[in-house]
């Protein structure tokens, strides 16, 4: 990447200055290259002189000058300058910048693709909601986050597998089973109370009615255990199909739906427990089986098997990650969990170490809560069911693209407000509309050129010399950098920010520079720039899982 090229040149310059004695010797701190907040300062900036001040005991501006004296600038850089309190700023050559339009056109849909992950495979596990009810908006945020990361990581060269972990056994499934069975009996007029900690949502009444209409009263005459098992299988399939349907509407698909039950049928649970025992990480106390997390620096130990003999959620998770790392051999595993799983992270890191794997291979993203608003009104109750507002209701109201953009618009570790009214606005106030309108506007320009039979394939991009044109190109060439940043830091919220910035710069260019004009040569050059912008904007929308409208 270009930032790394500048960093390498800085490192070489400091080494020369130290060898020649103009800078004191010392360990070189990490070199970071950023974009100046003020574009007039240049395209890139480094605060390396500020970092070196403590080591060299020299004023940062003096250090900056000494570094520049020894620095061989990359060919793409026009000039470098120093700025207080101790920055080195770099400005790209306009000639090189303009040529990037042709590079984008030549790369087409592959522009922004990287080779960061060549030969490495990553698994992303996300959503993974218990199949006991419909998805709500919080689940939607995790779904969009995971699917977008998968798009970006694939673009960065990784082999990516997307997985949904089905918690299809355990206490919650038992509660679901008994709740659905009771609702089924109640449908036929049986006087029976719901379990006190059962599932009370109206969707359970609706599902019991569906089962009754599809299968009649045949489960009334079965032994209770057999009837509950049969109804549970039907109910779980309905819930899972509804979850798949909701996710499909959100443009989220999975490569694998992994059953928790299979961990016990396939011996992964026994193998994982045996591995922990062989490492002396398992102890029996208080009539339960414990993982001695404290041996690995944790504050407390954690129960693996309860006193009644049933494995905990933690034990299943250990077996699941044993399967991921030891059997399927993923180089990196990314788990996206809800806010209530924050405390689960340290003990999972500890157990990864206990089974002989590097804990850094497990990346956990905690997805914070979503608050729904309609203007100033905060929404808590569904208009239909009396339960939490479902994801499908939100998709139906504002559309898939708005859902995806808004869910991505804040970093995962920040709580977010989702304004349904804003998401539906067809104006510049709505960032989704604003970004997609930029693409539609470009499509309109390209159509106009086609209707007028303008062939711009031989357009001379060297004619693109005005500030609006150069500013637009500067934003276009940021795409590979954005892909790299998201892939390395696992922070897809940078995509909507970039999309908005690019749309803003394009709209400004459109207002200041007439694309199709009487000047044939300039028209052809600007059409090339517009087409390059369409390529980049379409790529960003693709990465976010959104559509690229031709008309709006």
Instruction: List, in sequence order, every residue forming a beta bridge with 122; answer none if it has no partner.
Output: 160, 332
Closest listed residue to residue 461, CA positions, set 511, 531, 509, 536: 531
Residue 63 counted as domain residue: yes
What confidence category does residue 383 fall into, taking pLDDT thresholds of 50, 70 and 90?
Answer: very low
- pTM exceeding 0.75: yes
- CB count within 10 Å of CB 159 equals 15
- In angstroms, the Cα distances linking 432 to 110, 131, 182, 234 are 24, 31, 45, 39
Whether 480 and 520 share a structural domain: yes
Whether 443 and 499 share a structural domain: yes
Answer yes or no: are the C-beta atoms of 200 and 175 closer than 8 Å. Answer: no
Residue 375 counted as domain residue: no
Whether 449 and 531 share a structural domain: yes
Residue 407 counted as domain residue: no
**Percent of the chain with pLDDT strictly greater than 70:** 98
- DSSP-derived secondary structure for 492-517: TTHHHHHHHHHHHHHHHHHHHS-SS-
Distance CA 18, CA 421 (A): 60
Compute the residue count for the chain: 552
Highest averaged pLDDT of the listed ranges 32-36, 50-54, 99-103:
99-103
Strand order in the sheet with 416-419: 377-378, 370-374, 416-419
Answer yes or no: are the C-beta atoms of 258 and 551 closer than 8 Å. Answer: no
CATH number at residue 82: 3.30.1360.70
Question: Tokens 């910035």 appear where?
Answer: 501
- CB count within 10 Å of CB 307 equals 10
Taking residues 534-546, report their average pLDDT: 98
Q: What would the pLDDT profile of 486-503 be if each residue is shown by its tens digit?
A: 999 999 999 999 999 999
What confidence category does residue 471 fall into, taking pLDDT thresholds of 50, 70 and 90?
Answer: very high
Taking residues 498-510, report their average pLDDT: 98
3-class DSSP assignment, residue 82: strand
Tell how strand 87-92 and strand 377-378 pair up: unpaired
Residue 382 has pLDDT above 70, yes or no: no
- In angstroms, the Cα distances linking 12 to 5, 21, 49, 54, 515 are 11, 14, 14, 20, 44
Whether 447 and 522 share a structural domain: yes
Whether 510 and 436 share a structural domain: yes
Whether 104 and 20 share a structural domain: no
Residue 163 counted as domain residue: no
What confidence category does residue 384 fall into, taking pLDDT thresholds of 50, 70 and 90?
Answer: very low
Whether 104 and 59 share a structural domain: no
Residue 242 counted as domain residue: no
For every residue of 321-368, which 3-state class applies, written as one string? HHHHHHHCCCCEEEEEEEHHHCCHHHHHHHHHHHCCCCHHHEEEEEEC
What confidence category does residue 385 fall into, taking pLDDT thresholds of 50, 70 and 90?
Answer: very low
Q: Which pLDDT does position 386 carry in this prediction?
A: 46
Strand order in the sheet with 302-305: 282-285, 288-291, 302-305
Distance CA 305, CA 308 (A): 8
Residue 494 counted as domain residue: yes
Q: Which pLDDT does position 12 carry in this prediction?
A: 95
Residue 316 has pLDDT above 90, yes or no: yes
- CB count within 10 Å of CB 423 equals 22
3-class DSSP assignment, residue 92: strand
CA angle 384, 407, 394 (to 5 degrees): 15
Distance CA 45, CA 8 (A): 14
Residue 454 counted as domain residue: yes
Distance CA 372, CA 419 (A): 6
* Residue span of the structural domain in which 84 resides: 2-92
Closest listed residue to residue 183, CA positions, set 171, 193, 175: 193
Closest listed residue to residue 299, CA positions, set 343, 338, 363: 343
Whether 84 and 105 share a structural domain: no
Average pLDDT of the chain is 94
What confidence category does residue 39 fall into, taking pLDDT thresholds of 50, 70 and 90?
Answer: confident
**Residue 507 token pair:** 């709209």
Point out the domain boundary residue: 62, 92, 122: 92
The helix or strand, by DSSP H or E, that contains position 485, with its residue range, turns out to be helix 479-489
Taking residues 214-230, report their average pLDDT: 95
Whether 25 and 105 share a structural domain: no
Point out the domain boundary residue: 92, 120, 138: 92
**Residue 148 token pair:** 């977008």
Distance CA 431, CA 435 (A): 6
Read off φ and ψ for residue 460, nearest 5 degrees.
-95, 105
Distance CA 431, CA 408 (A): 12
CATH number at residue 437: 1.10.730.10
Taking residues 273-301, report their average pLDDT: 92
- In angstroms, the Cα distances linking 77 to 267, 321, 478 are 59, 47, 16
What confidence category does residue 180 fall into, taking pLDDT thresholds of 50, 70 and 90?
Answer: very high
Whether 102 and 39 share a structural domain: no
Whether 28 and 67 share a structural domain: yes
Distance CA 272, CA 275 (A): 5
Whether 102 and 46 share a structural domain: no
Taking residues 193-210, report their average pLDDT: 93
Q: Which pLDDT does position 289 carry in this prediction?
A: 95
Distance CA 231, CA 53 (A): 72
What confidence category does residue 298 fall into, taking pLDDT thresholds of 50, 70 and 90?
Answer: confident
Rg (the chain; Cα; Å) = 29
Answer yes or no: are the C-beta atoms of 76 and 92 closer than 8 Å. Answer: yes
Point out the domain boundary residue: 28, 60, 92: 92
Contacts of 180 (CB under 8 A, 6+ apart): 199, 204, 207, 208, 211, 231, 232, 235
Residue 419 counted as domain residue: no
Contacts of 467 (CB under 8 A, 6+ apart): none
Distance CA 439, CA 547 (A): 10
Strand order in the sheet with 159-166: 256-259, 159-166, 121-125, 332-338, 362-367
Question: Tokens 């499934």 appear where?
Answer: 173
Domain count, the chain: 2
Residue 95 has pLDDT above 50, yes or no: yes
Answer yes or no: are the C-beta atoms of 498 and 543 closer than 8 Å. Answer: no
- CB count within 10 Å of CB 334 equals 22
- DSSP-derived secondary structure for 225-278: HHHHHHHHHHHHHHHHHHHHHHHHHTT---SEEEETHHHHHSSHHHHHHHHHHH
Answer yes or no: are the C-beta atoms of 122 and 331 closer than 8 Å. Answer: yes
């Amino acid at each position: 990447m270009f930032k790394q090229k500048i960093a390498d040149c800085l490192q070489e310059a400091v080494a020369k200055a130290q060898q020649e004695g103009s800078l004191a010797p010392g360990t070189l701190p990490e070199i970071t290259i950023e974009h100046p907040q003020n574009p007039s300062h240049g395209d890139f900036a480094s605060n390396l002189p500020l970092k070196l001040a403590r080591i060299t005991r020299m004023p940062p501006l003096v250090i900056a000058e000494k570094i520049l004296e020894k620095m061989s600038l990359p060919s793409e850089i026009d000039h470098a300058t120093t700025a207080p309190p101790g920055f080195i700023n770099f400005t790209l050559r306009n000639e090189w910048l303009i040529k990037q339009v042709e590079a984008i056109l030549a790369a087409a849909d592959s522009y922004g693709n990287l080779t960061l992950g060549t030969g490495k495979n990553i698994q992303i596990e996300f959503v993974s909601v218990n199949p006991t009810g419909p998805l709500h908006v919080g689940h939607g945020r995790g779904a969009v986050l995971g699917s977008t990361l998968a798009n970006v990581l694939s673009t960065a060269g990784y082999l990516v597998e997307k997985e949904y972990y089905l918690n299809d056994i355990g206490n919650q499934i038992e509660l679901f089973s008994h709740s659905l069975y009771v609702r089924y009996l109640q449908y036929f007029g049986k006087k029976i109370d719901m379990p006190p900690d059962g599932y009370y949502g109206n969707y359970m009444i609706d599902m019991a009615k569906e089962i009754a209409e599809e299968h009649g009263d045949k489960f009334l005459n079965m032994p209770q255990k057999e009837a509950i098992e049969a109804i549970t299988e039907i109910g779980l399939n309905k819930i899972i199909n509804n979850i798949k349907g909701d996710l499909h509407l959100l443009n989220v698909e999975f490569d694998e739906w992994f059953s928790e039950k299979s961990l016990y049928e396939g011996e992964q649970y026994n193998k994982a427990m045996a591995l922990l025992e062989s490492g002396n990480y398992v102890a029996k106390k208080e009539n339960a089986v414990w993982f001695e997390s404290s041996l690995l620096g944790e504050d407390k130990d954690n129960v693996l098997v309860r006193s009644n003999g049933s494995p905990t959620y933690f034990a299943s998770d250990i077996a699941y990650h044993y399967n991921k790392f030891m059997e399927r051999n993923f180089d990196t595993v990314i788990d996206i969990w809800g806010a209530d799983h924050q405390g689960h992270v340290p003990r999972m890191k500890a157990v990864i170490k206990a089974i002989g794997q590097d804990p850094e291979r497990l990346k956990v993203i905690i997805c914070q809560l979503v608050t729904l608003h309609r203007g100033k009104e905060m929404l808590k109750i569904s208009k239909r069911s009396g339960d939490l507002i479902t994801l499908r209701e939100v998709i139906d109201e504002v559309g898939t693209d708005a859902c995806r953009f808004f869910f991505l618009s804040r970093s995962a570790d920040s709580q977010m407000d989702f304004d349904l009214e804003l998401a539906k606005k067809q104006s510049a106030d709505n960032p989704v509309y604003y970004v997609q309108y930029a693409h539609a506007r470009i499509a309109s320009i390209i159509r106009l050129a086609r209707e007028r039979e303008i062939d711009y394939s031989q357009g001379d991009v060297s004619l693109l010399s005005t500030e609006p044109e150069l500013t637009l190109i500067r934003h276009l060439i940021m795409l590979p950098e954005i892909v790299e940043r998201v892939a390395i830091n696992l922070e897809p919220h940078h995509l909507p920010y970039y999309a908005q910035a690019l749309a803003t710069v394009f709209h400004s260019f459109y207002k200041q520079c007439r694309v199709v004009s009487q000047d044939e040569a300039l028209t052809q050059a600007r059409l090339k720039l517009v087409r390059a912008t369409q390529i980049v904007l379409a790529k960003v929308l693709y990465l976010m899982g959104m559509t690229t409208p031709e008309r709006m």
